[in-house]
């Protein structure tokens, strides 16, 4: 057993320093001796077999169950050692078989009908709001921030994300905006208060998010123009000059991509503009991560561009701009993880130790994946007619400059009570 484990980890951990302790006290080291050392301990013999047979699923479970202990360093440090070394390495026969099986089953695991979508959303987004208050920014943006410089704070980077999206949307005062998957309402409020859209409708399947979004809208100066509804995107009626969706497309599932874009085409005005912001895979279609699907995001799937674009085309839509945000989400997740760990005791008061370990692993694994795997964020600008947007991208910076000025004015008028509830 020791030889097998040592061979597997030595193949993966090329740079850095990893110390491994077995249940009987024996151990070994991997790596080139550089960097801050990480030491892990397997608590029992079956934990070794679980890790070797299906690390993609079992590593997170072993960490949650305290059968894999990180005695020096952090679980993020361990994941970085593993994932950075795995890039370019050929997968084993067992790994290829598991990957192939999970890929073939992806349409079953992501069969997000209306009922299942509501259940999946409730599993993650209807958790106690005080949990999210521990690590999110003041506006409760639970998606990739946009870091304009490496030193930018999380709050400023999340504001920059909203500004970047609003500029690409080309929002005008006469526009009605639909926000598919509106979260706690921050984007809708930005588009009405700062971008000065005439009206914004945000739809969500989360009861908890809806309650907070409605509360914020009531307290906002733009409250009459920012409305929120507990509604599946497939059931929305009306016509909107602008449609935005941030961090929701990952919950649709590939079998529903065509239906999603057909719905968006039905809802988008003839000269309308849509902005889709989604996590995706830059190396082609893949299978859902089994641990994330079971414990964090049931029904979740990260699309490749080769899956998104054909569906948009078949729906009669035109993609006019594609931007790939690299490492922005890694920095976002790093900030979230550090904030969560700094207030871990407060999370423990809300839930239990197993839950806290689960969330620590979720944030650490997600950060490491954005750092060392082919996981990125796609921003797609989509229209019905190609004349709907300018011929060059100069307008983006011009509109962002105008939005910065509008932010100052909106901030001066904003009431403190408009902020999301504090922890």
- pLDDT tens, residue by residue, 347-384: 999 999 999 999 999 999 999 999 999 999 999 999 99
Measured distance CA(85)–CA(34) in Å, rounded: 14
How confident is the model over 130-162, as pLDDT tens digits? 999 999 999 999 999 999 999 999 999 999 999
Reading the block at residue 355, the tokens are 């839950």
Measured distance CA(376)–CA(370) in Å, rounded: 6
How confident is the model over 320-332, as pLDDT tens digits? 999 999 999 999 9
Residue identified by tokens 């989360």 is 206
Q: H-type helices in 42-193, by residue range?
A: 45-53, 55-64, 75-86, 93-104, 106-109, 114-125, 129-133, 154-169, 186-193
CATH for 114-418?
3.40.50.150
- Bridge partners of 375, per DSSP, are 281
* Structural fold of domain 2-90: Nonspecific Lipid-transfer Protein; Chain A (3.30.1050)
Burial 155-191 (b: 16+ CB within 10 A, else e): ebbbbbbbbbbbbbbbbeeebbbbbbbbbbbbbbbbb
pTM: 0.93
Measured distance CA(13)–CA(219) in Å, rounded: 53
Residue identified by tokens 């500029």 is 167
Domain boundaries, the chain: 2-90, 114-418
Residue 290 backbone phi and psi in degrees, to 5:
-65, -35
pLDDT above 80: residue 300 = yes
Sheet architecture: strand order including 17-21: 27-31, 17-21, 38-42, 68-72
DSSP 374: S
- Indicate the average pLDDT of the chain: 93
- The pLDDT of residue 88 is 65
- The pLDDT of residue 102 is 78
């Amino acid at each position: 057993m020791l030889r097998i484990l040592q061979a597997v980890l030595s193949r993966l951990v090329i740079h850095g320093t990893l110390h491994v302790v077995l249940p009987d006290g024996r151990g070994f080291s991997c790596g080139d001796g550089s960097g801050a050392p990480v030491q892990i301990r397997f608590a029992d013999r079956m934990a070794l077999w679980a890790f070797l047979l299906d690390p993609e699923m079992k590593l997170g479970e072993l960490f949650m169950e305290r059968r894999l202990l990180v005695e020096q360093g952090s679980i993020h440090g361990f994941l970085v050692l593993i994932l950075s070394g795995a890039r370019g390495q050929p997968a084993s026969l067992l790994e290829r078989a598991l990957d192939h099986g999970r890929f073939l089953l992806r349409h079953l695991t992501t069969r997000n009908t209306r009922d299942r979508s509501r259940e999946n959303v409730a599993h993650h987004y209807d958790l106690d709001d005080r949990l999210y208050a521990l690590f999110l920014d003041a506006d409760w943006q639970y998606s990739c921030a946009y870091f304009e410089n490496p030193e930018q704070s999380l709050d400023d980077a999340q504001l920059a994300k909203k500004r970047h999206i609003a500029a690409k949307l080309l929002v005008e005062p006469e526009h009605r905006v639909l926000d598919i998957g509106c979260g706690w309402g921050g984007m809708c409020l930005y588009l009405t208060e700062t971008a000065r859209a005439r009206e914004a409708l945000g739809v969500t399947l989360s009861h908890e998010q809806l309650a907070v979004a409605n509360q914020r809208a009531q307290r906002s100066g733009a409250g009459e123009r920012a409305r929120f509804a507990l509604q599946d995107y497939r059931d929305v009626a009306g016509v909107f000059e602008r449609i935005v969706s941030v961090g929701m497309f990952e919950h649709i599932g590939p079998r529903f991509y065509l239906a999603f874009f057909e719905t968006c085409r039905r809802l988008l005005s003839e000269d309308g503009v849509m902005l889709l912001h989604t996590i995706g895979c830059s190396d082609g279609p893949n299978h859902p991560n089994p641990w994330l699907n079971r414990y964090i995001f049931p029904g979740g799937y990260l699309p490749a561009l080769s899956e998104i674009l054909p569906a948009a085309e078949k729906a009669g839509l035109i993609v006019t701009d594609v931007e790939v945000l690299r490492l922005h989400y890694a920095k976002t997740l790093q900030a979230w993880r550090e904030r969560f760990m700094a207030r871990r005791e407060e999370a423990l008061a809300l839930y239990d130790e197993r839950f806290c370990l689960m969330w620590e692993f979720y944030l650490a694994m997600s950060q490491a994946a954005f750092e060392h795997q082919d996981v990125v964020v796609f921003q797609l600008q989509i229209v019905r007619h190609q004349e709907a947007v300018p011929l060059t991208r100069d307008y983006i910076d011009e509109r962002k400059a105008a939005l910065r000025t509008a932010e100052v004015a909106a901030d001066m008028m904003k009431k403190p009570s408009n902020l999301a509830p504090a922890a």
